[in-house]
Structure 1
């Protein structure tokens, strides 16, 4: 019995040693480099949990204990890292201490125009004429990339998304017209279903020569004439008289170019409009959209939801 009792501490020690060894060793032999971002002010356990989730380490708690025991927890840097699952825990921590790459994230939000996310005037100048083709996404940009290289990266992503969104298309518009329509849909609706219905409505209006009467196009026209602009502010009745080819209250047909950079759902909806008899729609105070087949129904919706 005494021998067994003496063996218990040894067994526990060996078990702990084995656990630590397995936790410190590389999770796998996979040498594929993957991006891992540590945000400024992110806690040690949060970092460890994400490292474990993406299989860069075997155990989050061993990572935390090891970092604190050896006084490394305060030395871990924020930044972008290229990590593999084939690194031991000590080696991985050393990488996190040395600091990440100088790459940075560049984000384009759906429904914004180039001036809203452009880092400087030079970028705005280089990207002139590309409104609608800068696909909304988060891009990891190497520090030494020129504006032209950044645009090439973004445009390549746009072409891939456009090819996917246009599969089995039913629209009768040209690709350029479809992109313009998609930019309008991005500003007019939130859900894919509503975007498809509104795409069909605007096609109906175009088909009978009816003005599109889109507030977002007037906002675009107003913002283009105002410096500095406060983008996408509510318009007034007097704004409807703005002289601009983008004012779809005064001009029939689509505006001459996209009014913003649309996301995937808007692209898809523009290529796959829902066929319906609706010609009118409005947004109530909660953002819900109500549709009408004729002016009488539309006026009833106005009286019910907007007054």
Structure 2
């Protein structure tokens, strides 16, 4: 009896020890193999299997155990991408595997909503995204001009794009145009027409809404106000259009500039330009930036109100008014 209990005890000990060791190894094999922050090149070639990638990672010291890497990839449902990577050895298996899902044969760029074409050019130039930048475009000014000549303001759709390696400017322009066309479909165009707008006019108005309002809700209200003013031959009086004119005056020949200045003087409000809606009744001849889908949707389906005026207070909130008297009160309360 004692011998039987002893044997059972030994078996239980071995089982518990085995479970403990397995648990330890399971966690250990997921940890980073080093604390070293230096990065090393690692390449995944087209057609390589997860098994091959795992073996290469282990042999080069990026992971502790290839089986654990394969398990994590399968468990997380990750799709590894061919590419050239720079990897540190201080990454745990899960983070390392996640990094290998975007092949660096590809380039990821993010175009911010409300940027002018010049700002987009500056971003592309500073991030060395296009092959032209190292070949033909020797300075930021030539790249700005090249973009301006290839696409109208307002149609460089803001989004995150993953570009195949060596995508050139013409190809990028086609990609963003296709993206714009996929978002601005026939239903939205019909909504623009219901508001009495062509697509170009809608894009111009949306670009102003983009710079004047920050949320989807406020954009719909501002779009309704601007449409009503335009349809009733009122000047839009949108400060964003004045900012656009100021930048045309001050920034075009500078490599580093604040494109949307917050300081607008009385002289600025009187600048002679077709873009200055403080002086002109018509819409600007072209968009002032590249608007988001939210702003385009706001123009397509604006909120109808009794408001004719709006402003953004020093607290960042929108304040609306039905009369000039109420608007002036809002200026005194929220801007001074």
Q: Same fold (TM over 0.5)?
A: yes
Check if 1:126 corresponds to 2:146.
yes
Partner of 1:5: 9
Check if 1:87 corresponds to 2:87.
no
1:261 is aligned, of 290, 293, 306, to 290
In the alignment, the residues of structure 2 paired with residue 293 and residue 149 of structure 1 have an alpha-carbon distance, to the nearest angstrom, of 47
Conserved? CA contact 1:76–1:93, under 8 Å: no
Q: CA RMSD in A?
A: 3.4
Partner of 1:291: 320
Check if 1:172 corresponds to 2:201.
no
Partner of 1:109: 112
- Residue deviations 1:263-296 (CA, integer Å, cap 9, x gap): 1211110111111221111121101111111222
Q: Give the CA deviation at 1:64.
A: 3.0
Q: Give the CA deviation at 1:9.
A: 4.3
In the alignment, the residues of structure 2 paired with residue 257 and residue 145 of structure 1 have an alpha-carbon distance, to the nearest angstrom, of 28
Conserved? CA contact 1:177–1:254, under 8 Å: yes
Gaps of 5+ in 1: 24-60
Partner of 1:207: 231
For residue 253 of structure 1, give the secondary structure of its aligned residue in structure 2: coil
Partner of 1:163: 185
For residue 166 of structure 1, give the secondary structure of its aligned residue in structure 2: helix
Distance 1:106 1:82, change over 3 A: farther
In the alignment, the residues of structure 2 paired with residue 78 and residue 164 of structure 1 have an alpha-carbon distance, to the nearest angstrom, of 47
Conserved? CA contact 2:189–2:199, under 8 Å: no
Partner of 2:303: 274
Instruction: Report 1:175-194 matches (<5 A).
Output: 175-194=199-218
TM-score (normalizing by structure 2): 0.68
In the alignment, the residues of structure 1 paired with residue 187 and residue 21 of structure 2 have an alpha-carbon distance, to the nearest angstrom, of 54
Distance 1:74 1:249, change over 3 A: closer
Partner of 2:98: none
In the alignment, the residues of structure 1 paired with residue 45 and residue 186 of structure 2 have an alpha-carbon distance, to the nearest angstrom, of 29
Distance 1:13 1:297, change over 3 A: same
Check if 1:250 corresponds to 2:279.
yes
Check if 1:154 corresponds to 2:182.
no
Moved more, 246-255 or 12-21: 12-21
Gaps of 5+ in 2: 63-83, 86-102, 126-139
Partner of 1:238: 267
- Residue deviations 1:6-33 (CA, integer Å, cap 9, x gap): 2234434655787799x7xxxxxxxxxx
- Residue deviations 1:107-141 (CA, integer Å, cap 9, x gap): 21111111112124454333224321112222222
Instruction: Report 1:63-74 matches (<5 A).
Output: 63-65=29-31, 67-68=32-33
Q: Give the CA deviation at 1:211.
A: 0.8
Conserved? CA contact 1:108–1:136, under 8 Å: yes
Distance 1:114 1:77, change over 3 A: farther
Instruction: Report 1:127-142 matches (<5 A).
Output: 127-128=147-148, 129-142=151-164
For residue 287 of structure 1, give the secondary structure of its aligned residue in structure 2: coil
